[in-house]
Amino acid sequence: MSTPVPWGDTKPPWMIGQVKHLGSVTLGKMLQTKDTGQDVLAPYMRAANVQPDGVLSLDDVKEMWFSPSELDDLTLRQGDVVVVEGGQGGFGRAAYVAEDLDGWGFQNSINRIRPNADNDGRFLTYYLIALRATGFIRRYCNIVSMPHLTAEKLAAIPLPLPSGSQQRAIADHLDRETAEIDSLIAAQERFVRRLHERRDGLIEHYVLRGIDPLHVGADSPVPFLPVGRNYEVVLGKMLDAGKQVRPTDKILPYIRAANIQDSGLVLDDVKEMPYSPSEIRRLDLRAGDVLVVEGGSVGTSVVLGKDMPGWSFQKTVNRARPTGEVDPRFLAYTLRIYRDRGIISVLGNKSTIAHFTAEKLRALRIPSPPLGDQRRTADHLDGETAKINKLIAKTQRHMELAKERRIALITAGVTGQIDITKGA
C-alpha cells in the first residue's frame, strides 16, 4: 500500500522524495537534572516552546545539563526546523529557527531538521504545518497510547522536492501572505479582547454600582447579604466510580464543571452515573437554579432556563436554588464579575480558592437590591451582553475563516497546487 500524501492523487509538478532528502533529522537529549562532573548547564528547546501557528515562544525557558560534546551535536542554528516529537495535542508542531540560539540544546520531545545544501527550512516548516493542519501527520506517527513522531518516521515523510530557488520563492510568498493574514487575525483578537472588557465593565457597573465589595460601608445604598440568605446551596454527588449499582439506583446523566461555560451549558460531552431515589429527589434540576462551578474555573455559573427532568449534578458543581425574592440571573452576573475581579478568592477564603465549597458560596456576600431592581438590571444586561456576544461570535468566525484561508494558502503553495515559483 502506498503512503498517503496530502495532495491526493494529483502529483505536484516536482519530484517526490522524503524529509530526509532535504535535511538530517536528530532527536534531542533525554532530560538530565544532575551534573556528572563535567557537564554544562544550558537552556534547552522543548515541546512547550513550539506554538501551533509555527512560532517559537521562548518566554518560558528551562535548563538542564549537557556534556560539551552533546551541546556541539545538539545546537540550534538559523535555518533549522524544530518539530514536536510526542503528545496527544502537540506532536508534529513545527517552527522555523530564525536566528542562532547560541548555547542552547534541545530535549527529546523535539526533533531538529537541519536542511542540507540549497534547501530552505522555511519551506519545510510550511509543509509540516500544512501536513498537521490537514490531519496527515498522524498517519506517519507511531501510535500506541500516545502518538510519537520519531526521528525515523519524520525522516520518512513524503514531500515534494522543488529546487532550492523554488523553495525560497514559495517561502518568500508565504511569508508575505501569512504576515498579512496574521496581522488581520491579531487585530481581530484585540477587538475581541476589547469587547470582553466592555461586557465585563457593563456587568460591573450595573451590578456593583460603584461599590467595592471588599469594603462595604454601613452607609452602602445597597445591602450586601450572604448568598445563603436567599438561596439553598447544595453540592452535587461524589463520583461513584467502581461502586456496585444497587437495584433501586437509576443511571442518570449529570452536569459537571466542564459542562458549565460562560456561554451556557455545553452538553456535547455528558457522563452518567447511578443515583438512588433519595439522591434523585434531593439533587434534581429546575428552572431558575444557578449551577456554580466548585472546583477548576471557580465561580463560573449558569442559570437553568427550564426544568431538566432525569438529570442531576456531580460534586464539582454547587446548585443555588432561590428561596427568597430574588432573580437568579442577578446572582449569576454577580458571580461572574466577582470571579473575573478576583473577589471570590478574597471574600471566600482570604487567599486563593482551590474549591468554592457550598459553605463558601453560602457565606459569600453579594449586593442584594429589591427584586424589581434585580430584574431590571438582569433584563438590561441580558439585552446588552447578547449584542456584545453576537459581535464576539461574528468576529471569532471571521478569525476562524482567516485561519482556514491561511492553511489553505500554505497547503496550496507547498504542494504545487498554485504556481508561485515562476522565474525561480
Instruction: Quick: pLDDT tens for 277-320.
Output: 999 999 999 999 999 999 878 899 999 999 999 999 999 999 99
Domain C-terminal end among 113, 137, 161: 161
Q: What is the pLDDT of residues 66-84, one digit of tens each?
A: 999 999 999 999 999 999 9
Q: Are 356 and 291 within 8 A, CB to CB? A: no
Residues 6+ apart with CB under 8 A from 149: 83, 84, 85, 86, 91, 92, 111, 137, 140, 141, 142
* CB atoms inside a 10 Å sphere around CB 129: 26
- Among 92, 102, 106, 118, which residue's Cα sits nearest to residue 171? 118
- What is d(CA 129, CA 52) in angstroms, rounded to the nearest whole number? 8
Report the chain's terminal Cα–Cα distance, integer Å: 35
Does residue 3 form part of some domain? no
Q: Are residues 250 and 284 in the same domain?
A: yes
Strand pairing partners for 147? 143
The per-residue pLDDT of the chain, averaged, comes to: 90
Q: Helix, strand, or coil here: 200?
A: helix
What letter does residue 6 receive in the DSSP assignment?
A: T
* CB atoms inside a 10 Å sphere around CB 157: 23
Does residue 55 form part of some domain? yes
- What is d(CA 50, CA 282) in angstroms, rounded to the nearest whole number? 48
CA dihedral 409, 414, 418, 420 (to 10 degrees): 100
Q: Which three cell numbers stand for residue 237?
A: 454527588
Q: Are residues 299 and 190 in the same domain?
A: no
Q: What is the pLDDT of residues 201-223, one digit of tens each?
A: 999 999 999 999 999 988 899 99
> What pLDDT score does 303 carry?
98
Q: Are residues 244 and 291 in the same domain?
A: yes
- Assign 147 a pLDDT band (cuts: 50, 70, 90): confident
Quote the percentage of the chain above a pLDDT of 70: 92
Does residue 8 form part of some domain? no
Domain C-terminal end among 350, 368, 386: 368
- Among 198, 214, 296, 309, which residue's Cα sits nearest to residue 256? 296
Strand pairing partners for 111? 27, 83
Q: Are residues 140 and 233 in the same domain?
A: no
Q: Are residues 317 and 254 in the same domain?
A: yes
- What is d(CA 313, CA 319) in angstroms, rounded to the nearest whole number? 8
> What pLDDT score does 145 carry?
62
Does residue 7 form part of some domain? no
Average pLDDT on 186-194 reads 97
> What pLDDT score does 382 carry?
97
Q: What is the pLDDT of residues 52-69, one digit of tens each?
A: 888 899 988 999 999 999
Q: How many residues does the chain have?
A: 424
Residues 6+ apart with CB under 8 A from 212: none
- What is d(CA 220, CA 211) in angstroms, rounded to the nearest whole number? 8
Does residue 209 form part of some domain? no
Q: Are residues 29 and 112 in the same domain?
A: yes
User: What CATH number corresponds to the domain at position 262?
Assistant: 3.90.220.20
Sign for the CA dihedral angle at 182, 187, 192, 196 comes to positive
Average pLDDT on 224-252 reads 90
Domain C-terminal end among 146, 161, 176: 161
The number of domains in the chain is 3
Q: Are residues 363 and 379 in the same domain?
A: no
Query: What's the domain range around 85?
Result: 15-161
Q: Are residues 264 and 344 in the same domain?
A: yes
Q: Helix, strand, or coil here: 280?
A: helix
Does residue 50 form part of some domain? yes
- What is d(CA 293, CA 355) in angstroms, rounded to the nearest whole number? 9
Does residue 354 form part of some domain? yes
Does residue 206 form part of some domain? no
Per the confidence metrics, is the pTM higher than 0.85? no
- What is d(CA 348, CA 276) in angstroms, rounded to the nearest whole number? 32
Average pLDDT on 147-169 reads 91
Average pLDDT on 387-415 reads 95
Average pLDDT on 226-248 reads 88
Q: Are residues 329 and 251 in the same domain?
A: yes
Q: Are 353 and 319 within 8 A, CB to CB? A: no
Residue 111 exposure: Cα atoms within 13 Å on the Cβ side: 27
Average pLDDT on 173-182 reads 96
Alpha helices in 232-304 (DSSP H): 277-282
Q: Are residues 286 and 412 in the same domain?
A: no
Q: Are residues 233 and 264 in the same domain?
A: yes
Strand pairing partners for 27? 111
Q: Are residues 244 and 347 in the same domain?
A: yes
